[in-house]
């Protein structure tokens, strides 16, 4: 995904600059490599997922305080579940190659999070504090950022509507292949070249 929404949004840029491994996929914000403790008191890593609200290429106030998680249910050091965020546990496909196992709810006293930095930092602190106490691990892995030049087009945008209504997996099945415009000869005429993506 294009780094534009990350670079243009101060909250997402702050998350990345502080070392979080973030990605925008199918209208969702993913925070990868979040350490947690499982029921057997083993430290593992999961993915924290949040719906993403954008105005153009810039984030707006998160439209929900709920977050999702791919992995086993996070526990305290003693192996008991972190019940303060418990909402729903059900495996669900949000989009192609994006499956979550749990939904968490941690509503701030103000009623909503002011930005994605506050939302993500809050959930990461709750989930990973127990793993940090056991093994000294953190979600700030500072991954190498590889620029994706193919996706840096003014015609490429993040579909956040599908994620808001939970039809990301269906929308991805309807995606068209790449469309390119190729010049023909020196006459200035153009022909559309539809190149289908193959799995």
In angstroms and rounded to an integer, the radius of gyration of the C-alpha atoms of the chain is 19
The DSSP secondary-structure symbol of 166 reads T
The answer, yes or no, to whether residue 77 has pLDDT greater than 70, is yes
pLDDT single digits (tens) 158-199: 566 666 666 766 666 666 655 554 554 444 444 444 444 444
How many angstroms separate the CA atoms of 74 and 43, rounded? 10
3-state DSSP assignment of residue 115:
coil
The pLDDT score that the predictor gives to residue 109 is 94
* Stretch 60-88: mean pLDDT: 97
**Closest to 75 (Cα-Cα) out of 103, 35, 112:** 35
As a whole-number percent, the residues of the chain with pLDDT over 90 amount to: 67
How many angstroms separate the CA atoms of 184 and 199, rounded? 29
How many angstroms separate the CA atoms of 30 and 56, rounded? 19
pLDDT single digits (tens) 121-158: 999 999 999 999 999 999 999 998 766 554 555 555 55
Q: Residue ranges of the alpha helices (H) in 83-167?
A: 116-135, 161-165
Instruction: Kindly state the tokens that stand for 118.
Output: 């506050």
As a whole-number percent, the residues of the chain with pLDDT over 70 amount to: 71
- Say what the pTM is: 0.74
Mean pLDDT score of the chain, rounded to an integer?
Answer: 84
pLDDT single digits (tens) 19-72: 999 999 999 999 999 999 999 999 999 999 999 999 988 999 999 999 999 999
- Does 105 or 186 have the greater pLDDT score? 105
CA dihedral defined by 163, 85, 59, 19, rounded to 10 degrees? -110
């Amino acid at each position: 995904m294009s780094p534009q929404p990350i670079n243009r949004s101060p909250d997402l840029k702050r998350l990345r600059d502080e070392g979080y491994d973030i990605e925008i996929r199918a209208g969702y914000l993913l925070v990868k490599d979040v350490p947690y403790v499982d029921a057997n008191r083993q430290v593992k890593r999961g993915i924290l997922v949040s719906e993403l609200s954008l105005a153009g290429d810039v984030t707006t106030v998160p439209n929900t305080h709920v977050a999702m998680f791919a992995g086993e249910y996070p526990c305290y050091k003693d192996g008991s579940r972190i019940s303060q965020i418990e909402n729903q546990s059900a495996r669900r496909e949000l989009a192609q190659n994006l499956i979550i196992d749990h939904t968490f709810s941690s509503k701030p006293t103000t009623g909503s999070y002011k930005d994605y930095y506050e939302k993500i930092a809050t959930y990461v602190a709750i989930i990973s504090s127990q793993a940090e106490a056991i093994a000294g691990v953190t979600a700030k892995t500072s991954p190498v950022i590889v620029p994706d030049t193919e996706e840096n087009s003014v015609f490429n945008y993040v579909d956040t509507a599908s994620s808001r209504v939970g039809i990301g997996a269906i929308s991805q099945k309807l995606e068209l292949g790449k469309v390119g415009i190729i010049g023909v000869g020196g006459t200035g005429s153009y022909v559309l070249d539809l190149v289908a993506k193959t799995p």
